[in-house]
């Protein structure tokens, strides 16, 4: 392999970065906002490296967002290796690392647009790379039709394939690490492990078994005040776990506090709230496993809640012209499908209210929690039929590399 200066890629530079037996993969990620873009890319990168033995580089334009979920990252370094994955700060659109090495598999996450110099070099590479555009997750039916559709480049002899995550067989599936179910099972089996988790997360003991534990990861939400008031007035005890973030200010205002950051505690009526630190990405799963109901958002936490096999409420990423609402309903169609008619209607009302359509009614939804819990477990089994996204992607790439 020969390296070439960034802005002058030669034909020689456009060769494989990997030893013949190892698949080299470059993932390009532009952080639009929050943590989902890099959250998905980082999870995928680790799986491809650790479970498939690929040599992976991640090009990411926002190291600060990345460092929130990967504290081992040094935001001052342009290139570094973390957990066996090379991380390059993608600091300008035209940049693609100090040397231009073209991988066997190139993943353009969420249509972020590869640097033109990199695409040129891809076109000159002796064996053309497999080029995938990893799309956002949607549960809509059209996804299976568009998954893996090829799109020839208008100028170069390159073909890009659209890789669509989805909840149904025939789509790209969603990310799931091989050891995830075992990790959840050992957390659920061990009272000692759970007690240690509560001590670390809240500084206290696990709550009484009859309390309802709720995790709250959400965008700003006009329905929050009403829901907090309903929990305050609930006849059963509610333990609310709030990772610090966009909703923390509103929780603080409800309790009449100046802030509600990690380590905060507040009680009003039946509502006992704890502020939690935003953890390293793997640390988020135990929060979901420790809870009876999880409020999640965006894309990656939405997927993790499904693998946690616990009831959840999805705050979908809002789009212009309410384009997100059909996506919310498509997910509900699959997830709520086998619920009884009353439980299903209550869940729909609650999800809609949490997404700006109506007022959430805790008394309407709470009696169905046991049924939701049973459904959450069966749904995790159904979802697994779509396969793990990293495995599906690796399989497809290998067929193209033959």
Catalytic, out of 88, 108, 135, 299: 299
Question: 186 to 225, contacts with ligand TRH by CB under 6 A?
Answer: 217
Least separation in angstroms between CB 31 and ligand TRH = 8
Residue (9 or 298) nearer to ligand TRH, CB: 298
Residues 83 and 81: their CA atoms lie apart, in Å, by 7
| 115: contact with ligand TRH by CB under 6 A | no
Catalytic, out of 37, 88, 140, 285: 37
Lay out the site mask for ligand TRH across 128-167 (x = CB under 6 A, - = otherwise). Answer: --------x-------------------------------
What does the block give as tokens for 73?
Answer: 């990252």
Other C-beta atoms lying within 10 Å of the C-beta of residue 141 = 14
Residue (49 or 119) nearer to ligand TRH, CB: 49
Nearest residue to 306 via CA among 214, 212, 180? 180
One-letter-per-residue 3-state SS of 4-41: CECCCCCCCCCCECCCCCCCEEEEEECCCCCCHHHHHH
What does the block give as tokens for 337?
Answer: 């499908």
Nearest residue to 368 via CA among 351, 348, 344, 349? 344
Least separation in angstroms between CB 237 and ligand TRH = 23
Dihedral, 346, 347, 351, 352 alpha carbons, nearest 10? -40
Give the CA radius of gyration of the chain. 22
Which secondary-structure segment (H or E) carries 375? helix 369-384
One-letter-per-residue 3-state SS of 53-120: CCEEEEEECCHHHHHHHCCCCCCCCCEEEECCEEEEECCCCCCCCCECCECCEEEEECCCCCCHHHHH
| 32: contact with ligand TRH by CB under 6 A | yes
Residue (39 or 97) nearer to ligand TRH, CB: 39
Catalytic residue check, 299: yes
Among 9, 165, 173, 243, binds ligand TRH (CB under 6 A): 243
| 34: contact with ligand TRH by CB under 6 A | yes
156 by DSSP, 3-state: which?
coil
Distance of CA 108 to the CA centre of its chain: 16
Residues near ligand TRH (CB under 6 A), total: 21
Question: 300 to 329, contacts with ligand TRH by CB under 6 A?
Answer: 300-301, 317
Say which residue the tokens 């926002």 belong to.
62
Question: 271 to 290, contacts with ligand TRH by CB under 6 A?
Answer: 278-279, 281, 284
| DSSP label of 283 | G
Q: Which stretch binds ligand TRH (CB under 6 A): 27-35, 84-92, 93-101, 359-367?
A: 27-35
Among 12, 33, 113, 225, binds ligand TRH (CB under 6 A): 33
| 89: contact with ligand TRH by CB under 6 A | no
Catalytic residue check, 108: no
Least separation in angstroms between CB 43 and ligand TRH = 7
14: phi then psi, degrees, rounded to nearest 5:
-85, 60
Q: Which stretch binds ligand TRH (CB under 6 A): 20-28, 35-43, 177-185, 355-363?
A: 35-43
Least separation in angstroms between CB 325 and ligand TRH = 15
Among 128, 160, 297, 368, binds ligand TRH (CB under 6 A): 297
Show which residues are catalytic.
37, 299
In the complex, the residues that contact ligand TRH under the rule CB under 6 A are 32-37, 39, 69, 136, 217, 243, 278-279, 281, 284, 297-301, 317
């Amino acid at each position: 392999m020969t390296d070439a200066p960034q802005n002058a890629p030669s034909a020689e530079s456009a060769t494989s970065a990997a030893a013949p037996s190892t698949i080299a993969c470059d993932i390009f990620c532009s952080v639009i906002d929050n943590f989902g873009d890099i959250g998905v890319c980082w999870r995928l990168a680790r799986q491809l490296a650790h479970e498939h033995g690929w040599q992976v580089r991640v090009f990411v334009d926002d190291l600060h967002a990345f460092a929130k979920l990967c504290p081992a990252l040094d935001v001052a370094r342009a290139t570094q290796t973390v957990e066996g994955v090379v991380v390059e700060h993608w600091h300008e659109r035209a940049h693609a690392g100090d040397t231009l090495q073209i991988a066997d598999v190139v993943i353009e996450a969420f249509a972020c647009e590869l640097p033109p110099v990199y695409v040129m070099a891809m076109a000159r590479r002796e064996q053309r790379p497999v080029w995938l555009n990893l799309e956002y997750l949607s549960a809509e039916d059209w996804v299976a039709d568009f998954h893996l559709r090829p799109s020839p480049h208008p100028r170069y002899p390159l073909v890009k394939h659209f890789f669509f995550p989805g909840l149904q067989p025939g789509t790209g599936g969603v990310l799931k690490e091989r050891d995830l179910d075992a990790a959840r099972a050992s957390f659920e089996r061990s009272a000692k492990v759970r007690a240690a988790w509560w001590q670390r997360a809240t500084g206290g003991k696990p709550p009484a078994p009859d309390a309802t534990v709720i995790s709250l990861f959400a965008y700003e939400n006009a329905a929050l005040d009403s829901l907090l008031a309903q929990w305050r007035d609930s006849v059963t005890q509610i333990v609310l776990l709030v990772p610090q973030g966009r909703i923390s200010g509103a929780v603080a205002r409800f309790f009449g506090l100046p802030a509600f950051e990690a380590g905060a505690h507040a009680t009003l009526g039946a509502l006992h709230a704890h502020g939690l630190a935003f953890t390293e990405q793997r640390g988020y799963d135990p929060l979901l496993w420790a809870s009876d109901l999880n409020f999640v958002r965006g894309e990656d936490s939405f997927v993790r809640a499904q693998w946690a096999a616990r009831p959840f409420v999805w705050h979908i990423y809002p789009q212009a012209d309410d384009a997100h609402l059909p996506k919310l309903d498509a997910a509900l169609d699959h997830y709520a499908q086998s619920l009884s008619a009353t439980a299903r209607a209550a869940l729909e009302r609650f999800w809609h209210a949490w997404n700006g359509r109506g007022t959430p009614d805790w008394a309407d939804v709470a009696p169905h929690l046991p049924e939701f819990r049973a459904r959450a477990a069966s749904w995790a089994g159904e979802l697994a039929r779509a396969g793990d996204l990293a495995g599906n992607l690796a399989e497809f790439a290998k067929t193209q590399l033959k």
